[in-house]
Amino acid sequence: MTAKCILVVDNELYIQEVVQIALETIKNWRVVTASSGAEGLLKAEKVRPDAILLDMMMPDMDGATTFQKLQANPLTQAIPVLLLTAKIQTADQKRYQEMGVHSTIAKPFDPLQLPAQIADVLGWQL
């Protein structure tokens, strides 16, 4: 089994780092990071990750817009996107589902649980 590759799009560097450490050391996954929606789109196209973790609230281009653009691009459209969001109201959840995101992961997450959470929602047998 080849190692999974995950793209993390979040403007906050320390969140990127925590995710990276968790995924790399616990599951040995490869992690690519992006600090803005625009950078995320570019990297998604280039590295074709197995999944994208996308922060919702970002300056300039927010998560929702980024997601739409990922969907519009045939090269990235098939990549499952997990929203990282601190908004946990059911109304928000519903909206995300309607948008077509695969799943949401609530912030703050427990770094040690994160890899299992991701594997779980994506149905990865590990």
Partner 1 sequence: MTVKTGFPDRSIDVSLVRSQKFAHNWSGDSFRDSIGPNVRRPMMKILVVEDDQATSETLTTLLNQCSYAVETATDGETAADLVAAFEYDLLLLDVMLPKIDGITLCRQLRNQGHTMPILLLTGKGDSHDKAVGLDAGADDYVVKPFDLEELEARIRALLRRGHLYTTPILEWGQIQLDPSSTQVSYRQQLLALTPKEYALLELLMRNPRRVYSCGMLLEHLWTYEDMPGEEAVRTHIKGLRHKLRDADAPADMITTVYGIGYRLKPLAELEKEAPSFQEENQAAIANIWQRYQARISRQVQVLEQASAAFQTHQGQLNPEQQQRAEQEAHTLAGALGMFGIHAGTDLARQIEQLLRLPQPLGMEHIKQFQAQVETLRQTIEAYGPFTPTDVSESLPPLPSLLVIDADRDWIKDLTGQASHWDWTVRAVMDLDAAQTALTQDLPQVILLDPAVADHKNQTIAFLEKVTHFTPPIPVLFYGSPNGLHSRLEVARLGGKAYLEKPIVPKQVLHEVDRVLHQSQAITAKVMIVDDDPHLLQFLPPLLEPWGFKVSTLADSRLFWQTLVAAAPDLLILDVEMPDVSGMELCQIVRNDPYWQNLPIIFLTAHTEAEIVNQIFVLGADDFVSKPVVGPELVVRLVNRLERMQLSQQLWQVDTLTKAYKRQPAIPRLEQMMKRAQESQQPLSLGLVKVMNLRNINAEFDLETGDSVLRQVGYALCQGCGQEDVVARWSSNEFLMGLQGIRSDDAEHHIQHLCQDYLQTHQQTDDAVPIQLDLGVVQYPEAGKTLSALYKAADQRRQREAD
List of residues contacting partner 1 (CB under 8 A): 12-15, 17-18, 21-22, 25-26, 57, 59, 84-86, 107-112
Using the minimum distance from each CB to partner 1, give the nearer residue, 30 or 107. Answer: 107
Token readout for 37 is: 């929606």
**DSSP one-letter string for 28-45:** --EEEEESSHHHHHHHHH
Asked if residue 67 lies in contact with residue 10, where contact means CB atoms within 8 angstroms, the answer is: no
Using the minimum distance from each CB to partner 1, give the nearer residue, 25 or 97. Answer: 25
Helix (H, G, I), strand (E, B) or coil at 8: strand
Using the minimum distance from each CB to partner 1, give the nearer residue, 12 or 45. Answer: 12
